[in-house]
Chains A and B, each alone.
Chain A
C-alpha cells in the first residue's frame, strides 16, 4: 500500500543471551519493553497500539503470547494484536494500523527462548507435513540444501560462506568491544561440517532474547526524537513477499521474494549505508546481497547480525531496530533492514529507513 503518513522508529531496546536459564519470558521481556517505552518519551498509556510476534511451539504450550502481555501493562484494556511470526511482521501490522490513521503510535515486541526446546526440530513442523515432514529434515539440513544450490549456481566456495561468519564475528566483537583471535576464518574453516557445506560458524547460534520498538507518526515522531536530540528513523518503504512452501518448486539459489519486496519498498531509490540482514546461515547473506542489489560500500550487519545472536521470532525485529539505531545516531543516512520467515528464505520483509524527512 502507498504510505500516506510518515512513520518512524523512535526507540529500540533488545536483550539476548545464549541461554536465559533464570527468568521466564515475562521476566525477560519486562525490562526491555520498559526501556523502549521510557526511551520513546511516550507515556505507556498514550501508546495507541501494541503488537507482538512469538511462537507457541517454542515452549510447546498454547497462547503463551497472552501471558507475555503481563510484561506490558495491559490495564485498562489496550488495543492489542499478535502474529505467530517474527516480530518484524508485527511491526508491519503496526505500520498498517498507523497508516490507516486509527493510531499515531505503537509498541512492537518479540520474544523467544531457544533454550526450552530444540528449534532446529521445532521449525521442521513448518514444512509440508504430508510429503516432507515424515523425513524430519531439521532446519540446518534444509538450509544446507540452499547453501549448495547457491554454490552450484555461482561457483561460490565454502570459504566464501565461512568469511561471512568470520566478518559477523568481527563486527560483533567491534560492536561489543571484544578482542578477537586474528585467524578466525581459518579456525571456522577447520571445523567439521554439521550438514555440508555448513559448519558451526555458518549457523546462527541458539539464543534467548527479546526486543521492543516504539513507532510514532508525523509530528509526534519529530517531537519525541527532538526531546532526546536524536532524529527519527523514518520508514520510507516496507513490504513483504512470500514464495511457495515446497522447496523443490523454487530456485533456492535466488530470493525472488526479497527482490520484489525491495522493489516495492523503494530500496533502489538511493544509496544504502547500512544493511541489517536476517541471515541465519552464512550463505543467506550472499543470496540477499544479490537479491537486494547491495553494493560493496554497504556495511552489512555491523551489529554482527543473527550469526552472533538469533533469538527466535525476534532477530528479524532486531534487524529493524539495529538499522534504525544507526540512522537515529547519525551513523547511517539510509539503511535497509531485512527479516525472514519459513524455510530457506521463504518469506521476506524489506524495510527502508532514512534519517531525513521523506
Chain B
C-alpha cells in the first residue's frame, strides 16, 4: 500500500457571491442599513427584535406584517458580550485586532452580532456604550456598518445620504471554502496506476468481486479490498449515450459518446468516452480498448477515450449482470 496518499486541493465557491432574495422583513432591515438607520420589528407582546424576522421566535406567530410593526432603534447601543480577536482571520471584516460583540441598540430587547473597533482589548467591557461607524458607500448589507466604536470616543458621525431610495430586495455574499481532500489509500493506488498506463482494481481476495476505481471496501460486504488486480485495458460497452452538446473538454468532437465500460477482469463498469468511430455505430456489447493520453499522470484524464478493438461483439449474457 502507498505510504503517501494523493491530495487534491478543492475550492467550494460561488464566484461573485451567493445571491439571496431577502423578503419584506429582512429587506426592511437591510434597506434601513443602506439608509443609515437601524430598523427593528415589534412583536405581539411588545418586545422589539433586531435583526427583525418574519416570525416571533418564541411563539412562531407572524411578525412584521404591517408597516406599524417596524420601529427605528439606536443608533447607540450597549455591548452585552464580546470577544477580543487579536489575530483576525482573512475573512474577518477588520484586518486589525477588534472585538466580535453582541450589541443591543437602545430601544431594542435583543442584540445583534457585529464588530467593535475599540483599538485595544483594554477598552472593551460588557455594558460599554457604542455607536455605529457607517460606511460612506452603503448597499443594504450588515457590512454597511463598518464597525461599532465606543460612544465615549465620539468616533462616529451621522450616515452620509443613501445611494438609492429603492427598497433592498436581494443581497449577495461571497462564500469560499478551501479544502485539501485526501484520495485515501485505494484511490491513490488507482491514480498512481494510471500514471503508469495501468488500470488497477481491488478485491477482498481471490474470488472476490473486482472494483475499479477501488475505494478500499467491497461495498456489498463492507470488508477491506486488500488484493490488487490489474484490469483492462480492453472491455465491453455495457450502455452508452450520444451527446450532441460540447460538455466534455476531453471529447474530440460533437456528437460524442459517453459509455459505461466493463473492463476485462472488473466486476463494475467504468465511465469513459468512446471515439475513433462514428457515434452512430457505437452499440451495447462493442469491444473497446483504452487510448492513453500522450501525457499520463495520476488522473482519469490519462485515458483519453476508448476505441473499438475490432473483436466480435460480446454476447449480452456476458455483461447483463453489470447493466
A196 touches B84 (CB 8 A): yes
Closest to B174 in A: A134
Of the candidates A59, A134, A144, A246, which one forms a contact with B173 in the assembled complex, judged by CB atoms under 8 Å apart? A134
A132 touches B81 (CB 8 A): no
Which of A20-28, A156-164, A290-298, A300-308 is near enough to bind chain B?
A: A20-28
Which of B156-164, B215-223, B307-315 is near enough to bind chain A?
A: B215-223
Closest chain-B Cβ to A181's Cβ sits at a distance in Å of 26
* Complex-state Cα separation, A60 to B53, whole angstroms: 29
B91 touches A136 (CB 8 A): yes
Question: Is A133's CB within 8 Å of the partner chain B?
Answer: yes
* Complex-state Cα separation, A151 to B80, whole angstroms: 12
Closest to A147 in B: B83
- List, in ascending order, chain A residues with CB within 8 A of B71's CB: none
Of the candidates A24, A133, A136, A192, which one forms a contact with B183 in the assembled complex, judged by CB atoms under 8 Å apart? A24
Question: Is A271's CB within 8 Å of the partner chain B?
Answer: no
Are A195 and B85 also in contact (CB < 8 A) when A30-B222, A118-B177 are? yes
B222 touches A34 (CB 8 A): yes
* Complex-state Cα separation, A140 to B121, whole angstroms: 17
Question: Is A197's CB within 8 Å of the partner chain B?
Answer: yes
B83 touches A75 (CB 8 A): no
Question: Is B246's CB within 8 Å of the partner chain A?
Answer: no
Number of residue pairs A-B, CB distance < 8 angstroms: 198
Are A60 and B83 also in contact (CB < 8 A) when A121-B177, A130-B22 are? no
Are A71 and B182 also in contact (CB < 8 A) when A141-B83, A249-B57 are? no
Question: Is B242's CB within 8 Å of the partner chain A?
Answer: no
* Complex-state Cα separation, A193 to B84, whole angstroms: 8
Question: Is B86's CB within 8 Å of the partner chain A?
Answer: yes
Closest chain-B Cβ to A145's Cβ sits at a distance in Å of 5
Interface string of B124-141 (1 = CB under 8 A from A): 001000000000000001
- List, in ascending order, chain A residues with CB within 8 A of B30's CB: 130
Instruction: Give the residues from 137 to 169 in chain B that come closer than 8 angstroms, CB to CB, to chain A.
Output: 141-143
Question: Is A149's CB within 8 Å of the partner chain B?
Answer: yes
Of the candidates A24, A74, A121, A246, which one forms a contact with B53 in the assembled complex, judged by CB atoms under 8 Å apart? A246
Question: Is B51's CB within 8 Å of the partner chain A?
Answer: yes
Question: Is A154's CB within 8 Å of the partner chain B?
Answer: no
Closest chain-B Cβ to A327's Cβ sits at a distance in Å of 28
Interface string of B209-242 (1 = CB under 8 A from A): 0000001111111111000000000000000000
- List, in ascending order, chain A residues with CB within 8 A of B114's CB: 135
* Complex-state Cα separation, A44 to B11, whole angstroms: 38
Interface string of B6-30 (1 = CB under 8 A from A): 0000111000001010100010011
A131 touches B81 (CB 8 A): no
Question: Is B305's CB within 8 Å of the partner chain A?
Answer: no
B102 touches A197 (CB 8 A): no
Closest to B183 in A: A24
* Complex-state Cα separation, A254 to B178, whole angstroms: 34
Closest to B211 in A: A70
A148 touches B93 (CB 8 A): no
* Complex-state Cα separation, A242 to B180, whole angstroms: 33
* Complex-state Cα separation, A248 to B53, whole angstroms: 12
Of the candidates A72, A75, A122, A145, which one forms a contact with B82 in the assembled complex, judged by CB atoms under 8 Å apart? A145
* Complex-state Cα separation, A121 to B102, whole angstroms: 19
- List, in ascending order, chain B residues with CB within 8 A of A10's CB: none
A117 touches B57 (CB 8 A): no
* Complex-state Cα separation, A31 to B173, whole angstroms: 41
Closest chain-B Cβ to A134's Cβ sits at a distance in Å of 5
Interface string of B26-66 (1 = CB under 8 A from A): 10011000000000000000000111010001100000000
- List, in ascending order, chain A residues with CB within 8 A of B181's CB: 59-61, 116
Are A30 and B216 also in contact (CB < 8 A) when A59-B181, A116-B182, A130-B51 are? yes
Question: Is B184's CB within 8 Å of the partner chain A?
Answer: yes
Question: Is B247's CB within 8 Å of the partner chain A?
Answer: no
Are A134 and B142 also in contact (CB < 8 A) when A67-B215, A74-B219, A249-B110 are? yes
Question: Is A41's CB within 8 Å of the partner chain B?
Answer: no
- List, in ascending order, chain B residues with CB within 8 A of A331's CB: none
Question: Is A125's CB within 8 Å of the partner chain B?
Answer: yes
Of the candidates A26, A135, A145, which one forms a contact with B83 in the assembled complex, judged by CB atoms under 8 Å apart? A145
Closest chain-B Cβ to A161's Cβ sits at a distance in Å of 13
Closest chain-A Cβ to B47's Cβ sits at a distance in Å of 10
* Complex-state Cα separation, A135 to B142, whole angstroms: 8
Question: Is A138's CB within 8 Å of the partner chain B?
Answer: yes
Of the candidates A27, A57, A195, which one forms a contact with B216 in the assembled complex, judged by CB atoms under 8 Å apart? A27
- List, in ascending order, chain A residues with CB within 8 A of B177's CB: 57, 60, 117-118, 121-122
- Ranked nearest first, the 7 interchain pairs of A and B with the lowest CB-CB distance are A24-B184, A73-B222, A144-B83, A248-B111, A136-B91, A60-B12, A75-B220
24 sampled A-B residue pairs with Cβ under 8 A: A21-B182, A25-B184, A27-B216, A30-B223, A59-B181, A60-B12, A60-B179, A69-B219, A71-B217, A73-B222, A116-B179, A121-B89, A122-B177, A125-B175, A130-B20, A130-B51, A136-B89, A136-B91, A144-B83, A145-B83, A149-B102, A197-B83, A248-B102, A248-B113
Q: Which residues of A contact B (CB under 8 A)?
A: 20-27, 30-31, 33-34, 44, 57, 59-61, 67, 69-75, 115-118, 121-122, 124-125, 127-138, 141-142, 144-149, 152, 192-198, 244, 246-249, 252
Q: Which residues of B contact A (CB under 8 A)?
A: 3, 5, 10-12, 18, 20, 22, 26, 29-30, 49-51, 53, 57-58, 80-87, 89, 91-93, 100-102, 104, 110-115, 121, 126, 141-143, 171, 173, 175, 177-187, 215-224
Known: A74-B222, A135-B115. 6 other contacts (CB 8 A): A22-B182, A59-B179, A61-B181, A124-B91, A134-B173, A247-B102
